[in-house]
Amino acid sequence: MIDLHNHIIPAVDDGCASLDESLMLARIFRDNGYRALCATPHIRQGMFDNSEEALKAAGQALAAEIAGSGIGIDFRFAAEYYFDERLLAALDRPENLLTLDPRGRYILIEFSYQRAPLRLKEFVFQLSLKGLRMVMAHPERYDWIANDFEFAADLAAMGAVMQGTLSSLAGEMGSRPSRTLKAMLRNDLIHIIASDCHGPDSAIRMLENSLKTLKKETNAETAEILLEKNPAIIYEGRSL
Ligand SMILES: [Fe+2]
């Protein structure tokens, strides 16, 4: 499996606090059957004011540590961009964006939980003109998606990739995101499932529980598509 959303880079956001925690989490992923990770630290104005340059340095440092550790898991890094002015400005220089793939095609974006951004469809279209695909982080947590699957389906039809979250399935975000995600899975509105792991503390239990739940909610073949096949396409920058 390949995880495309986690906060394993140490001391850059609310994820892992130290290199020890990061390496511990990398081992937990490997032990649960993961072969590759793409780290996605937060970039959010006023809350996580990370520059692409600083995250590149931190990502490369962790890459070297993981490679030297003998853990045996493939690693790259991107970012989880919050939909704000900072992101809109960054899109003017797409060559600097931290994308989930080496070709600069897939960008992970999270949104306000309560309010839908105005003109989101236009935004997805504008991204496509730049050769970018939006990967929507945890759609099951947004009220405006939970209340409007048709809107989610429209976004998907326009090329948005929907990333459901293991931690939501595990009930870590309350019962509503878990219910919503199960309904989205039944309606074929989810393309990939990622962990959104923030540290090693609850990771073992969370991964075991949620992976079991996912296999129960879908089937082995669908789980393979959501956890391995589609994530691999994105990780390699191929067309989904
Ligand atoms: Fe996240």
pLDDT for 111-133, tens place per residue? Answer: 999 999 999 999 999 999 999 99
- This prediction has a pTM of 0.97
| CA pair distance 128, 105, nearest whole angstrom | 9
**Ligand 1 midpoint to CA 181 (Å):** 16
**158 vs 161: CA distance, rounded Å:** 9
71 C-alpha to center of ligand 1: Å?
A: 23
CA 41 to centroid of ligand 1, rounded, Å: 7
β-strand partners of 6: 197
Neighbouring residues of the ion ligand 1, judged by CB less than 5 Å? 80, 196
162 phi and psi, to 5 degrees? Answer: -95, 120
Domain 2-235: state its class: alpha beta
Q: Are 155 and 127 in contact (CB under 8 A)?
A: no
The b/e string for 39-73 (b: 16+ C-beta within 10 A; e otherwise) is bbbbbbeeebebeeeebeebbeebbebbeeeebeb
- How does DSSP classify residue 238? -
- Strand, coil or helix: 205: helix
Domain borders along the chain are: 2-235
pLDDT digits (tens, 9 = 90+) for 201-212: 989 999 999 999
107 within 8 A of 134, measured Cβ to Cβ: yes
The pLDDT score that the predictor gives to residue 119 is 94
Q: How far is the CA of 79 from the centre of ligand 1 (A)?
A: 9
At 131, give phi and psi (nearest 5°): 80, 20
Beta bridge partners of 192: 163
Q: Report the pLDDT value the prediction gives residue 173, as an integer from 0 to 100.
A: 84
Q: Which two tokens stand for residue 11?
A: 């001391």
- CA of 77 relative to ligand 1 center, distance in Å: 13
Distance 40 CA to ligand 1 centre (A): 7
Q: How far is the CA of 9 from the centre of ligand 1 (A)?
A: 12
| Segments in the chain below pLDDT 50 | none
- CA–centroid distance, 141 to ligand 1, in Å, is 11
Calculate how far, in angstroms, residue 126's C-alpha sits from the geometric centre of ligand 1: 24
Mean pLDDT of the chain: 96
Q: How far apart are the CA of 194 and the centre of ligand 1, in A?
A: 9
Residue 5's CB is within 10 A of a number of other CB atoms, namely 28
Helices marked H in the chain: 19-31, 52-69, 85-90, 120-129, 143-146, 149-157, 166-169, 175-186, 203-217, 220-224, 230-235
Two tokens, residue 239: 């067309």
